[in-house]
Amino acid sequence: MKVSLGLGQHRIGTVGDEEWVMYGLGSCVGLILCDPVRRVSAAAHMVLPSGRGDQAGAEPGKYVETAVPYLLEQMEALGARRKDVYAQAAGGARMLALGSLGDIGARNIEATRKVLAELGIPLVAERLGGTHGRTLWWDLRTGRATVRRVGHPDEVITPREYWYGEVHVDGPRVGR
């Protein structure tokens, strides 16, 4: 079953027959967090680096600064272990020059990298920046993220050692 995550939406879950998709990632960043050992995942279609007060609390998936810690907390409630969680991201393109707002895509990328680093979550795959939009797919059955761009073939961005079936209790196999 395909589940679409619109602007500011998020989802948390375990392995199952779902694919999560974030369409139209221009300046927005689509983020996937995954504990491949326990197969707990979370995703958010993040619109802006930060929000103000009540805005951020009411829509935790909309803002990078609230989405990442919120998703991690929800994953841990489902049994994920922070030491095994990794991230993948796509988007953050420079789509519009909006004067005083600057390059929102670049600001979203910077905020995403900063928050992930602060929380000790490695970013193992990314397709960030540039000037073109993307669509990000996450397959909960296989543990693979795929990026789609108009006029280009689909690209699986998840490193092979992180695919489900390649994961051991002690973490992903490295060096394959």
Question: Residue 169 — very low, low, confident or very high, per pLDDT cuts 50/70/90?
Answer: very low
Is 28 considered catalytic here? yes
Question: Residue 50 — very low, low, confident or very high, per pLDDT cuts 50/70/90?
Answer: very high
Which residues neighbour 89 within 8 Å (Cβ) at sequence distance 6 or greater?
29, 30, 31, 32, 112, 123, 125, 126, 127, 128
**pLDDT per residue over 6-45, tens digit each?**
999 999 999 887 899 999 999 999 999 999 999 999 999 9
Which residues neighbour 176 within 8 Å (Cβ) at sequence distance 6 or greater?
160, 161, 166
How, if at all, do strands 155-156 and 29-35 pair?
unpaired
What's the gap between Cα 115 and its chain centre? 12
* Domain ranges for the chain: 2-172
The predicted structure's pLDDT at residue 15: 82
Complete edge-to-edge strand list for the sheet that includes strand 10-14: 10-14, 40-46, 29-35, 86-91, 123-128
In Å, how far are 42, 64, 107, 111, 175 from 70, measured between CA atoms? 10, 10, 20, 15, 32
The predicted structure's pLDDT at residue 174: 42
pLDDT at 56 over 80: no
Question: Which run of H or of E encompasses 110?
Answer: helix 104-118
User: Is the pTM above the cut of 0.85?
Assistant: yes
- Higher-scoring residue by pLDDT: 82, 103: 82
**pLDDT per residue over 94-134, tens digit each?**
976 655 567 899 999 999 999 999 999 999 999 999 999 99
Which residue out of 12, 25, 28, 37 is catalytically annotated?
A: 28
**pLDDT per residue over 126-167, tens digit each?**
999 999 999 999 999 999 999 999 889 999 999 999 988 754
Whole-angstrom Cα distance, residue 170 to residue 25? 34
CATH architecture of the domain 2-172 equals 2-Layer Sandwich (3.30)
pLDDT at 168 over 90: no
The predicted structure's pLDDT at residue 53: 61
CB contact at 8 A, 22 and 127 = no
CA-CA-CA-CA torsion for 88, 94, 97, 98, nearest 10 degrees? -10
* Among 17-31, 53-67, 78-92, the least confident range: 53-67
